[in-house]
Amino acid sequence: MSKQLLKILSLLMALAMVGAACGSGSASDDAASDDSVETDDSAADDSAADDDAMEDDAMEDDDAMEDDGDDAMADDGAVDPDAELVIGTILPVTGDLAFLGPAEIAGSELAAQDINAAGGVFGKDIVLIQGDSGDTTTDTASVEVDRLLSEGADAILGAASSAVSKTVIDKITGAGVIQFSPANTSPDFTTYDDNGLYFRTAPSDLLQGKVLADEVLAQGNETASVLFRQESYGTGLADAFMENFVAAGGTIDEFIPYAIDVESFDAEVDTIQSAGSDAVLVIGFAESANIITTMHERGIGPTSGTNVWGVDGNAGLQGEMSDPSILEGMSQTVPSVDLGSISEFIDRLVTEMGGEEETAYGAETYDSVIIVALAAAIAGSDGGEAIAAEINGVTKDGTKCTTFAECIELVNAGTDIDYDGLGGPYEFVDAGEPAAASFRIDTYGVDGADADQARYVFAS
């Protein structure tokens, strides 16, 4: 038999076996088919793929319907059952504003306690994660922000320093997270490109600058010299003071910025001494202790008859002085409501602080946490953008309420609220900041204390 004929016969036998395998329904035939025929496996795979594709399409349709349902539920005000409001902080545990830290940290803790005692947000306790801001000589704030973002913070409270906030604002708001400062006062934040996610309970220094100018002029001072930190806070407040002082008829003799890392102020104080101004304004932080001490040594300090003024960055200055008595007669402005009107809260704050006496920005910090929590409850979401969309409205144009418990009851009843809080009324404008504010005017006494010498003015 020829080789060609053998090939033909072999092919015919193979075809016969394929036909038998395709026609059989038995397990043994199926096994034989699996062992001998690749074409059937391919056909089965194609069929399975078709079935899988149909199943995937159906699942996608179901998912789409489910997503549409979720969207509809969100539109109807339902809350994601996994939602949990997480607020982190970058408040000054260390750095040149560390004297403000105890009150701000205590304020945030008290707010979280009050919120959770009233049932929390979304029916759950809010989570508060404390962190440090350091100052501009360290990278503390940036490292802490990374940590807080990794831990799921929906909002980050702080920093106290405007200059520190500027180092992290892009990182926070760029991540879709709210940054809310209780103490930033630089005018730069009013127009900063923050994706609508930056807010503050502290008023802009455009207001404080006006108050300072009015107060210095009211003393009968016609000339003034200004010594200020060369960073966003110091420069912004110095500019605001100068603009208002000059506009009201005053004259600026010396306008002196200083680097934030210097330790000696001999040259700057010598220049101010030569000017012989009626008043001297010092815009600084802890380093103001060195400045005032040097002024005292030159005979132009508060006890020498010079009208020396400070600002909120100098609050707690007596604690930095080796001899607080040389502050006698010095005055300063601090954004603050009348502390007598919130005495119960101040008592709680001091107790939470362990007896510390400096309470500046404690109320504003408390209110920052409350406002974020109320906005989240109204939004029905722990998403940064959703919360941000409700924050301004929480502070105005509704039924007035002053505690979280009172406000959340109104929110749950569908009532529009206006939270005035401890440091309010705030009446946030579109930029996410107060349009008006109250300022405390402190004057240091014989032992460096300012007790019983405070008064308050309101500016808008």
| One-letter identity of residue 386 | A
Q: Residue 26 pLDDT more than 70?
A: no
What's the length of the chain? 460
Task: Look at 185-194, 308-317, 397-406, 448-457 and tell me which has the smallest mean pLDDT.
Answer: 448-457
| Max Cα-Cα span within the chain | 133
Predicted local confidence at residue 51, as pLDDT:
46
Give me the mean pLDDT over the 421-432 stretch.
94
122: left (phi over 0), alpha (psi -120 to 50) or beta: left
8 A C-beta contact, residue 186 and residue 233: yes
Predicted local confidence at residue 179, as pLDDT:
98
Predicted local confidence at residue 316, as pLDDT:
82
Q: Place 379 in a pLDDT band, splitting at 50, 70 and 90.
A: very high
Predicted local confidence at residue 358, as pLDDT:
87
Among all chains, which residue has been given the structure tokens 């119960």? Answer: 344
Sign of the CA dihedral 28, 34, 39, 44? Answer: positive
Give me the mean pLDDT over the 198-214 stretch.
97
Of 231, 281, 270, 225, residue with least CA distance to 251: 225
Q: Please state, rounded to an integer, the average pLDDT across all residues of the chain.
A: 86
8 A C-beta contact, residue 284 and residue 313: yes
Distances (CA, A) of 171 to 143, 167, 385, 389, 431: 11, 8, 15, 19, 19
Confirm whether 86-203+341-437 and 206-337+440-459 share one CATH topology: yes
Predicted local confidence at residue 30, as pLDDT:
40
Q: Residue 14 pLDDT more than 50?
A: no
Predicted local confidence at residue 173, as pLDDT:
98
Q: Place 5 in a pLDDT band, splitting at 50, 70 and 90.
A: very low
Predicted local confidence at residue 36, as pLDDT:
36
- At 222, is the secondary structure helix, strand, or coil? coil
| Pairwise CA distance, residues 435 & 458, whole Å | 11
Predicted local confidence at residue 42, as pLDDT:
40
- At 456, is the secondary structure helix, strand, or coil? strand
pLDDT in tens, 27-73: 333 433 343 333 344 434 444 444 444 444 444 444 443 333 333 33
pLDDT in tens, 105-141: 999 999 999 999 999 999 999 999 999 999 999 999 9
What does the block give as tokens for 111? 């707010």
Instruction: Quote the DSSP letter at residue 274.
Output: H
Tell me, letter by letter, the H, E, C secondary structure of 114-172.
HHHHCCCECCECCEEECCECCCCCCCHHHHHHHHHHHCCCCEEEECCCHHHHHHHHHHH
Q: pTM, whole model, 2 decimals?
A: 0.81
Which of 11-20, 66-75, 88-97 is the most confident on average? 88-97
| Pairwise CA distance, residues 456 & 407, whole Å | 27
Q: Is the CATH number 3.40.50.2300 carried by domain 206-337+440-459? A: yes
- At 454, is the secondary structure helix, strand, or coil? coil
Predicted local confidence at residue 242, as pLDDT:
98
| Pairwise CA distance, residues 373 & 342, whole Å | 21
Q: How many CB atoms lie within 10 A of CB 260?
A: 18
Of 181, 453, 215, residue with least CA distance to 339: 453
Q: Place 21 in a pLDDT band, splitting at 50, 70 and 90.
A: very low
Q: Residue 385 pLDDT more than 60?
A: yes
Predicted local confidence at residue 450, as pLDDT:
57
Q: Which residues contact 351 (CB under 8 A, 6 or more apart)?
A: none
Among all chains, which residue has been given the structure tokens 């702080």? Answer: 158
Predicted local confidence at residue 77, as pLDDT:
54
Predicted local confidence at residue 205, as pLDDT:
96
Q: Pick the residue with more confidence: 450 or 271?
A: 271
What does the block give as tokens for 174? 């760029």
Q: Place 297 in a pLDDT band, splitting at 50, 70 and 90.
A: very high
Tell me what percent of the residues of the chain surpass a pLDDT of 90: 74
DSSP 26-71: SHHHHHHHHHH-HHHHHHHHHHHHHHHHHHHHHHHHHHHHHHHHHH
Predicted local confidence at residue 53, as pLDDT:
43
Domain boundaries, the chain: 86-203+341-437, 206-337+440-459
Predicted local confidence at residue 33, as pLDDT:
36
Q: Is the CATH number 3.40.50.300 carried by domain 86-203+341-437? A: no
What does the block give as tokens for 213? 């100018």
- At 329, is the secondary structure helix, strand, or coil? coil
Of 358, 246, 253, residue with least CA distance to 313: 358
Task: Look at 153-167, 320-334, 373-387 and tell me which has the smallest mean pLDDT.
Answer: 320-334
